[in-house]
Amino acid sequence: MSRRLAAALSAPFFGVSALLVAASPAQPGTPADKPRVLSSWTQPSASSYAIWAAARGNQSQWSAYGFDWSTDYCSTSPDNPFGFPFEISCARHDFGYRNYKGEDTFRTDKPRLDSALYEDLKRVCERYSRAQKASCRALAWTYYQAVKKLG
């Protein structure tokens, strides 16, 4: 085959190859529904918290998604201030922060993630009696204000 003919035949192939490479996802094999799943796990609702908690308990099932499950819980704030168990709510908040930073949509999603933390913390407070509930809710508000401003 002549060089001209070979070059002419290979040009369309290389052009298509370049388009396929350019259109490939950054992480090969990552399921296309990752943004939808991530969003469903980071909403302020109790049902969103429940499905995230179930997934967290079975992380290996979600390994293809490449989620970052790491956490430092409530960072430099107490995880269980005055005995109120905020630790898992903070873990979900970390999950949202770490994964949306990885998706480069953090700034857009941060207000919802902070709101979800606040709703999760208030749900923790619901299990307490009147006086304890008021103290717990005040702490929840303080944690929310801190992540809203500093997170």
What is the rounded distance in angstroms from the CA atom of residue 71 to the CA atom of residue 85? 15
Give 48's contacts (C-beta < 8 A, 6+ positions apart). 40, 41, 42, 116
Domain 32-150 has CATH 3.30.365.10: no
Give 73's contacts (C-beta < 8 A, 6+ positions apart). 79, 87, 90, 91, 94
CB of 124 within 8 A of CB of 89? yes
Q: What is the pLDDT of residue 21?
A: 34
8-state DSSP, 60 = G
Q: What is the pLDDT of residue 29?
A: 80
At 117-136, the pLDDT tens digits run 999 999 999 999 999 999 99
Is residue 14 very low, low, confident or very high in pLDDT (cuts 50, 70, 90)?
Answer: very low
Give the CB-side neighbour count of residue 90, counting CA atoms within 13 A. 20
Q: What does the pLDDT average to over 10-16?
A: 38
Supply the residues annotated as catalytic: 93
State yes or no: pLDDT of 15 exceeds 60. Answer: no
State yes or no: pLDDT of 72 exceeds 80. Answer: yes
More confident position, 79 or 25: 79
